[in-house]
Chain A
Amino acid sequence: MISSAAAKVKVDPRDAKLSMAHFFVAFGALAIGGLMGLLQTLVRSGKFELPWGIGYYQILTAHGVLMGLVLTTFFIMGFQYAAVSRTAGTHSPAARRTGWIGFWLMTLGTLMAGVMILLNEASVLYTFYAPLQAHWIFYLGLTFVVVGSWVDGAAQIMTYAKWRKNNPGQPSPLLSFMAVINTVMWIVATLGVAATVLFQLLPWSLGLVDTVDVLVSRTLFWYFGHPLVYFWLLPAYMCWYAVIPKIIGGKIFSDSLARLSFILFLLFSIPVGFHHQLTEPGIDPAWKFLQVILTFMVIIPSLMTAFSLFATFERYGRSKGATGLFGWLRVLPWGDARFIVPFIGMASFIPAGAGGIINASNQMDQVVHNTIWVTGHFHLTAATSVVLTFFGISYWLVPHLTGRKLTKAMNKLGIIQAWVWFIGMAFMSGAMHFQGLLGGPRRSAFSTYGDSQQALDWIPYQIAQAVGGTILFIGIILVLVIFINLAFFAPKGEEEFPVGEAENLQEKAPMVFENWKLWLGIAAALILFAYTIPFIDIIQNAPPGSKGFKTW
């Protein structure tokens, strides 16, 4: 009994190896993708031109694919694999083998897509909007990434299912439950991108068919593209809900509330893709309206999360004797990188979330659509809230997995890194938001648009973005130094994998939360309701298909 409990506290070294394999790819992608991001901001400042015939759209694609798809997916799968191993027990050899197959499939796919981008055969941006046409190997590579992530996720589901079988009538461990929710949401969401790639883009890029239905392809992409951002966010929420309380020495405010918010994300993250297509002709406004309403439903679990986190902090602070309205803020462990790095991420989610509500509102989308405001928005959500939380996780998880310690020096460097990141992002994302409100376009290289006054007014903001991008690149160098130190050089020791406990242990989470038939049924019903009729409409009234374009 004791040995099994002890075995649970530490992630098994065989599982640790697979998690670390994911992290090496993730941080490798961060290094290359980060450099591409720096170059983009320099080009857009107008003071720098790319050498050797490298195209702006090529580095833009590399940045988006490496950061948005590779860094995130690999980190998330590695983290969730370790979290399930830690809380639901060591993976079985079969589950571990499945995980490795998934990992290698994703890595192979990443290499295929990456090589095609480097060869300038796939400068179609990470959203690969048809009728921009990339080399078929790029699409096939991304298919391997997606299929690999399904196989990888299956390993987590296998171990979760084993736990459920061995513990009938018991709610599963919170972190495992959350990991499985995110994996299931990912599988349902990626069906859309798999459909457009397999049935449209691959046959088209192979020359088997001449034309592509652009609107169908974009609709399938955004069916996937919005839950994608929740797939990034939910692992950060796993840390905020279930790990941070333990790090600060407090308790999870409510285990049931955390589970309910994850279920709401599963239900409401998917049938909302039209809010990315509000300016798209060919979709009935009534269905856009419906999906905007469903988008706004996601605000509910987000605000539940905000409440729950404030409550966790306040309860902890008051238990330490803090008084006054905000006295509890003072007693939080501000010197602990494992806390403050994700905390800066949480705080950034306040403007990030507010910006998201603006994006999703139909009228305001007319103000910000396709402007660099949107780029500023997702650099707050994904590239600050999510990524800083991932950095904060890696500061204890990497040494935990490699049998090392987070030293005082690395802890300090981690805190410096987070502030550098925050300052760089304040410049870059802030300038992007303001430039977007002035109409500055996203996804575009430097241009003065025939010296028009409006475009000239954007240049100071673009220079501010280059300043921010440079500071952020310093942040990337710092985090890579810390990662390499924790993976290879930090002193040997035991670093804790913190798993929080609920405040009220008597309050058992309702078993209905584990009723997958029910939640997947409701999710499917919502998706069918939101998409069936408009999709039939889109296909029946389709304009002629488009041939492929290679604009670079």
Chain B
Amino acid sequence: MAKAELKAKQHTQVEDSSSLKGTLASVFLLGLFIIVSWVSVYYLFVDRF
């Protein structure tokens, strides 16, 4: 029983260590930041010119 639990835990860890979901989320946040800043200044342009 204890052994099986240990095995299952290890298995999850191995699978998790190859995950890049945090990277995916980070690059999406980065992209969002770029778009928001670009659109804000674009709005200033449209407003002024």
A residues engaging B (CB < 8 A)?
A: 303, 306-307, 310-311, 314-315, 317-319, 321, 323-329, 350-351, 353-355, 357-358, 361, 363-364, 366-368, 437
Contact = CB atoms under 8 A, between A and B. Distances in A.
Given A321-B13, A361-B38, A326 B27 contact: no
The 9 closest A-B pairs by CB, nearest first: A318-B17, A310-B23, A354-B37, A310-B26, A314-B22, A354-B34, A311-B23, A364-B41, A358-B41
A438 to B, nearest CB: 10
Interface residues of B, number: 23
Contacts of B27: 303, 306-307, 310
A351 B38 CA distance: 11
B37 A351 contact: yes
Contacts of A325: 21-22, 25
A311 B30 contact: no
A311 B20 contact: yes
B16 interface: yes
Contacts of B17: 315, 318-319
B20 A314 contact: yes
Instruction: Name the prevailing secondary structure of the A interface residues.
Output: helix
A306 B30 contact: yes
Given A306-B30, A323-B16, A367-B45, A357 B22 contact: no
B11 to A, nearest CB: 14
A532 to B, nearest CB: 31
Interface in B1-49: 13, 16-23, 25-27, 30, 33-34, 37-38, 41-42, 44-45, 48-49
Secondary structure at the B interface, as helix, strand, loop or mixed, is helix
A494 to B, nearest CB: 32
Nearest to B21: A325
A326 B22 contact: yes
A332 B23 CA distance: 15
A294 B30 CA distance: 21
Given A319-B17, A325-B25, A364-B41, 12 more contacts: A303-B27, A311-B20, A314-B20, A318-B19, A324-B22, A328-B22, A354-B34, A361-B38, A361-B42, A364-B42, A367-B44, A367-B48
A318 B20 CA distance: 9
Contact of B45 (A306, A326, A329, A364): A364
Given A311-B20, A318-B19, A368 B41 contact: yes
A318 B23 CA distance: 12
A354 B38 contact: yes
Contacts of A361: 38, 42
A350 to B, nearest CB: 6
A157 B22 CA distance: 39
A318 B34 contact: no
A503 B6 CA distance: 27
A244 to B, nearest CB: 15
B34 A353 contact: yes
B9 to A, nearest CB: 11
B24 to A, nearest CB: 9
A311 B17 CA distance: 11
A310 B33 contact: no
B8 to A, nearest CB: 15
16 contacts: A303-B27, A306-B30, A311-B20, A314-B22, A318-B17, A325-B21, A326-B25, A328-B22, A350-B30, A354-B34, A357-B34, A358-B38, A358-B41, A361-B42, A366-B45, A368-B41
Contacts of A314: 19-20, 22-23
Given A366-B49, A367-B48, A310 B22 contact: yes
B31 to A, nearest CB: 8
Contacts of A357: 34, 38
A322 B17 CA distance: 8
Nearest to A316: B17
